[in-house]
Chains A and B, each alone.
Chain A
């Protein structure tokens, strides 16, 4: 894919996002980290300001790459109590659109439903859209930025976002 973003098809982007979803659902987060650039960001905006900026708005999650790695390290620890035992999740990714191309960069939007299951708890359904900035390089597609926007007006009964959404 060395020809930059112009040659990348939606099907290729979909395959990539399905792979990401599978790695996260299967708790293969070390492999998921390999999909990220060295300066990647992962953000979940607050439900009441979904279009806000993390520099002046209190987000639910606003991780740079070092905190993404720290988050993964924490989640693999069985003393990350909110995710021990691990949640089972199942993500459905759809409505994938390439919304912009600029040099080696792609803007992509995808809808998601993430079902979260924990024993003896009600099922939680996180529904929304993820806005990606993807970078196309010699080693394929990488994620430079993923902003996960939850549609619910407040987290409410979804409770925490203790796993990687």
Chain B
């Protein structure tokens, strides 16, 4: 089985203040299998968002290497590289001055897709995410948080990426709506065969959506593997605590 993402001895530090650089990621060695969702679980400050930003080259590792689909991240044409990776973020991050439709189809237009193809893909995504056509010409603010989040997922999926990066996209949505989105997301993922990396602080969400778990704390991987393995045999008291408190 190939890996969608691979971290080889990755270090990353940031300078936050007068204390000098602080290591946010420390010797990360990870392989995320293709075709399933890998959930990176950790509290804020664990380095999980940094990990995500290394995958689409928004950040550069200080040491080590990040590989995507068994290839090193290209030095040039980063925009092209990033467009092959869908990205969805907490609160959806929709552009407020564009209609929902324009938000979703922006990249396809920039890629020069023909209108028919854009329209067809748009319709399919909208249906898959359970959105009514009447959201198209409205602006993001006119939608509920859950609807916005689904529009955001449509945008991330528009160019048929092989990999999706999800930065806590469900955490701002109320629990009942969230269940609905989980189901939609899982159906789309199965249908499209897209790999995903989900960053979350919610262990319950991680177990629900992921086929592979990574527990991150203070820049170090505490445990990783299939959810059942992690749940049955926590390798660290922090992981045990997570399992107990959140499930």
- A and B are partners in one complex rather than unrelated chains: no
Give chain A's interface residues, CB within 8 Å of chain B: none
